[in-house]
Structure 1
């Protein structure tokens, strides 16, 4: 069911999708093991951060945040959709996962996929596959981990509002930290509680989910704060 949904998504986007619809590949020389991103002295990871920053004429920490927004989205999307469709969650272990540059930014796939179920399995996958990258990117580019995890949280919310309906707030709550509490629902969508930093680029419009667009909730006035008293 999931692979069919991914293929429909790819067809609807003219083939521009950041995950192989079939999930599993036999990698050729165009694919790079994801573990290479964590190989010291982090030459590959630094290069991708710098390339992203250069593409948008952005400071390095902004380039790092935007690189992760893309990479984290496509790594998270299959787990979000699988959970919503039939509860079967594809787990791409770090040693089995590959990526390559593409028109979607990156495309991700694996040499094998383990199928699991439930938010607990997703949380374990985030800890194993995403947390080391989040920590490395944060340290290399001086961008906050909470900012980066906000993009992962949105990578659950977006597909479950735009592709397959699903209770993303329930899922995020069940996963727990570090993604719970980083998005909030609205009548027709959601807002982030952290910024992906796109808005810091010159002459761009904010994302529809941008935290700068969130309505500011003012505390309800009390008798004393409004200048009224019980004897008035």
Structure 2
């Protein structure tokens, strides 16, 4: 966990960058405005809402459909995974972003993820946590396995749907999830802690990142490099 003085300074800087807002930005709070899609709808045949998001991504980047699907997933998994991994790093309390309670809509960031209105987000805590047993918490023996189970519940159905419709391999998409776990954590915790978290989580994310200098390199490609005039990502397996 981050030492409290460093965390306080980090939070002050963050609030300054966000116009004084510390917490959930207004645009991330689900309301009754049109455009929010319950994520379970993306996993149901004939996959109309999911393919609409893929097509929108394809138009944005002038990309083939399978590349657009990979880029859509890279954006989606980053925002979906972020609350869980930051909760793990900052407080050792993990909000479980499960499929049934998650919403998505297109945005300037690609997609925006939110918890469904009226949906209580369960927070996984360890047995010794002062909040253990309070409403909205679930006591787990290990937070890494809790993150893994939430990812399998919240992402695997989407990954299967994308792969079915675009002929992508699941390993390619799980590689983006592995990076979504590691990328926001490296400024907060030592790389060995990130490696240990992925190892404790196990398949399908363990082993998809390898140490490289002070950071890591992916074993899979997000397919960004296939776009015309695109430079490889700093973590790309394509050198």
Give TM-score, length-normalised by structure 2: 0.79
Query: 1:6–1:202: structure 2 CA closer, same or farther, 3 Å change rule?
Result: farther
Residue 198 of structure 1: aligned partner: 224
Structure 1 vs Structure 2 CA RMSD: 2.6
1:222 is matched with which residue?
none
C-alpha distance after superposition, 1:39-78 (max 9, x if no partner):
2210011111122112211111101000000001100111
- How far apart are the structure 2 equivalents of 1:7 and 1:41? 46
Contact 2:162–2:168 (Cα < 8 Å) also in 1? yes
- How far apart, CA to CA, are the structure 1 residues paired with 2:177 and 2:225? 18
Change (3 A) 1:27 1:168: farther
Are residues 177 and 7 of structure 1, via their aligned partners in 2, closer, same or farther at CA, if it must alter by over 3 Å? Answer: farther
Q: How many residues align?
A: 207
Structure 2: tracts of 5 or more residues without a match = 2-7, 126-142
CA shift digits 1:118-168 (9 cap, x unpaired): 011111101111000011101101111000000000001100114x22521
Indicate whether 1:184 and 2:200 are aligned. Answer: no
Q: Quick one: distance in 2 between partners of 1:7 and 1:65?
A: 35
In structure 2, distance between residues paired with 1:143 and 1:21 = 33
The whole-number CA distance in structure 2 between the counterparts of 1:113 and 1:8 is 27
Which sections of structure 1, spanning at least 5 residues, go unmatched? 214-232
Correspondence 1:1-232 to 2 at 5 A: 9=14, 12=17, 20-21=24-25, 25-111=30-116, 112-117=120-125, 118-162=143-187, 164-166=188-190, 167-213=193-239
Query: Which has more radius of gyration?
Result: 1
Q: Deviations over 1:176-198 (max 9, x none)?
A: 00000001122221110100000
Contact 2:57 2:110 in 1 (8 A): no
**Offset from partner CA, 1:76-101 (integer Å, 9 cap, x none):** 11111111111100112222111122
Runs of 4+ in 1 over 4 A off after TM superposition: 4-11, 19-24
**Against the structure 1 CA distance between its residues 153 and 109, is the aligned structure 2 distance closer, same or farther, given a 3 Å change threshold?**
same
Where 1:160 maps in the other structure, the secondary structure is: coil
CA contact (8 A) 2:89 2:185 kept: yes
